[in-house]
């Protein structure tokens, strides 16, 4: 197991963050600063949450819980989550740095009612579709997860992937758009390449 070796300033910064965590977010393991949250009333998390530096959560802010994070989740630096309808993370989710997860889009671009490119993006109606990320999921660096996506338990999302459709349980997906390259075979206890 690899051990982290912090510099003196990093150690002091982590101790300071730990003290603030225990004052403002008692159930969390560690919330590093800065931490930006809009709509705090819409945020719910279970015990053991760890957040990296400069995470940003943009939530609707009403009485409904829009962002729900399960037990023992670890979220890296510069992760941005937008939850105007619902973003749910299961237990033991590991998210690398610079990940973007959103249940919201500026406008509609399919179906009967589509937005015109002549309308300014900020003037287009916000369209939301819930995002659900299962338990034991590992999300790599620079991943984008788009509205309406469900990621199954035990799945791995490779670095730099754009996930625009559902991911089955125990799958490895990579690419833009993300596609399944392996699935776990429980009988053989191996990750097997997906047959096309």
pLDDT greater than 90 at residue 51 = yes
Give the chain's domains with CATH numbers: 29-193 (2.160.10.10)
How does pLDDT run across 97-135, given as a tens digit for each residue? 999 999 999 888 888 889 999 999 999 998 999 999 999
Where are the strands (E) in 30-178, listed by range? 30-31, 35-38, 43-45, 50-51, 55-59, 67-69, 74-75, 80-83, 87-89, 94-95, 100-102, 104-106, 126-128, 131-133, 138-139, 144-145, 150-151, 156-157, 162-163, 171-174
Tell me what pLDDT residue 41 has: 93
| Token pair recorded at residue 93 | 């989710």
106 has catalytic annotation: yes
How does pLDDT run across 59-106, given as a tens digit for each residue? 987 889 999 999 999 999 999 999 999 999 999 999 999 999 999 998
How does pLDDT run across 140-176, given as a tens digit for each residue? 999 999 999 999 999 999 999 999 999 999 999 999 9
Q: Is the pTM of this model over 0.95?
A: no
Give mean pLDDT, residues 182-187: 96
| Token pair recorded at residue 85 | 């309808």
Contact 162/178 with Cβ under 8 angstroms?
yes
pLDDT greater than 70 at residue 196 = no
Q: Give the active site residue among 53, 80, 84, 106.
A: 106
Distance, CA of 196 to CA of 167 (rounded, Å): 16
């Amino acid at each position: 197991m690899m051990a982290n070796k912090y510099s003196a300033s990093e150690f002091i910064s982590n101790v300071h963050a730990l003290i603030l965590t225990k004052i403002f977010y008692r159930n969390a393991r560690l919330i590093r600063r800065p931490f930006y949250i809009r709509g705090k009333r819409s945020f719910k998390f279970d015990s053991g949450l760890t957040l990296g530096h400069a995470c940003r959560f943009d939530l609707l802010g009403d009485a409904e819980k829009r962002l729900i994070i399960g037990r023992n989740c670890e979220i890296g630096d510069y992760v941005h989550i937008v939850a105007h309808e619902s973003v749910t993370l299961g237990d033991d989710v590991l998210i690398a740095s610079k990940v973007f997860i959103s249940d919201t889009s500026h406008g509609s671009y399919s179906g009967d009612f589509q937005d015109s490119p002549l309308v300014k993006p900020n003037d287009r109606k916000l369209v939301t579709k819930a995002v659900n990320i299962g338990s034991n999921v590992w999300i790599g660096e620079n991943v984008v997860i788009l509205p309406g996506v469900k990621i199954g338990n035990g799945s791995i999302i490779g670095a730099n992937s754009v996930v625009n459709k559902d991911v089955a349980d125990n799958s490895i997906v990579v690419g833009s758009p993300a596609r399944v390259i392996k699935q776990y075979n429980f009988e053989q206890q191996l990750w097997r390449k997906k047959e096309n």
